[in-house]
Amino acid sequence: MLAAEACFDALAKECQHDELTAYPEAFKASWLHEELHLSRNFKPWMAKGLKLGSLMFGIDQMVFGGKAPWTLHNTKPDHAKLKLAADTQPIIYPKPDGVLNFDRLSSVFLSSTNHEEDQPCHLQLKDAAIPISVNLAQYDAPEQRFCPAGVYEILRDENGSNPRLQINAQNCVHCKTCDIKDPSQNINWVVPQGGEGPTYPNM
């Protein structure tokens, strides 16, 4: 709403600037900023372990009421925190029950996402070889798992050879996780053709 109001005001005043400074200013003055600021240290503390995190965030909240004279920063980017496949064990998730939880493609269907089949692909690879030579070899192709819409698939020949990445861009729900989480930073999410993507008609 704050962004929409800032846009509306800028359009009404026929502003010629290409930066919408009114939006960050309005956000800083809002209740949302105040609420988020009070809990800003939660994630960085908890990243240091459950016991230390619980103790320190407890002090942060109970003693300082969220106004501690420090702000912890998360300096390592998310994509750099992915562990190698060799250092992890696969997680075996229970199958969706179809009542409270559902398979990924059923959920994608509910989003009503759509992209014209002949539009330029909005999921671009900087280097087409990296998904197999690096991501599959070292991380067991994590894009197959972190994409909530099943857009990325490793296909193989019938005998299991010749792995290759298939990008089902039409299913993308525009969460942008792949752009952020890809350990090789090889996926470039670009804005697709206007008016396309998820519409969530039942929300």
d(Cα 73, Cα 77) in Å, to the nearest integer?
A: 11
Enumerate residues 6+ apart whose C-beta is below 8 A from 47: 53, 74
- Which of 44/148 has CB closer to ligand SF4? 148
The answer to whether residues 110 and 120 touch, using CB atoms and an 8 Å cutoff, is: no
**Taking CB under 6 A as the criterion, which residues in 146-165 touch ligand SF4?**
147-149, 151
Decide if residue 189 touches ligand SF4 (CB under 6 A): yes
Task: Give, as ranges, the residues between 28 and 47 that touch ligand SF4 (CB under 6 A).
Answer: none
Candidates 176, 192, 194; CA nearest to 122 is 192
Q: Binding of ligand SF4 at residue 23 (CB under 6 A)?
A: no
Q: Where are the alpha helices (DSSP H) in the chain?
A: 2-12, 22-28, 31-38, 42-46, 50-62, 104-111, 130, 137-139, 143-146, 177-181
Q: How far is the CB of 169 from ligand SF4 (least distance, A)?
A: 7
Tell me the HSE value of 34 on the side-chain side, using a 13 A CA sphere.
5
Q: Is 177 in the site for ligand SF4 (CB under 6 A)?
A: yes
Closest CA to 81 of 150, 182, 153: 182
CA distance 20 to 24: 8
Tally of CA atoms within 13 A in the half-sphere of 157 that contains its CB: 3
Give me the least distance between CB of 93 and ligand SF4, in Å please: 18
Q: Which of 6, 22, 56, 123 binds ligand SF4 (CB under 6 A)?
A: 123
Binding footprint of ligand SF4, residue count (CB under 6 A)? 13
Stretch that binds ligand SF4, among 13-21, 46-54, 98-106, 141-149 (CB under 6 A): 141-149
74 and 43 Cβ atoms separated by less than 8 Å: yes
CB of 180 to ligand SF4, least distance (A): 9
The nearest distance, CB 11 to ligand SF4, in angstroms, is 28
Q: How far is the CB of 42 from ligand SF4 (least distance, A)?
A: 25
Shortest reach from residue 186's CB to ligand SF4, in Å = 12
Among 41, 178, 183, 192, binds ligand SF4 (CB under 6 A): 178
The residues of the shown chain that bind ligand SF4, judged by CB under 6 A, are: 123, 147-149, 151, 172-178, 189
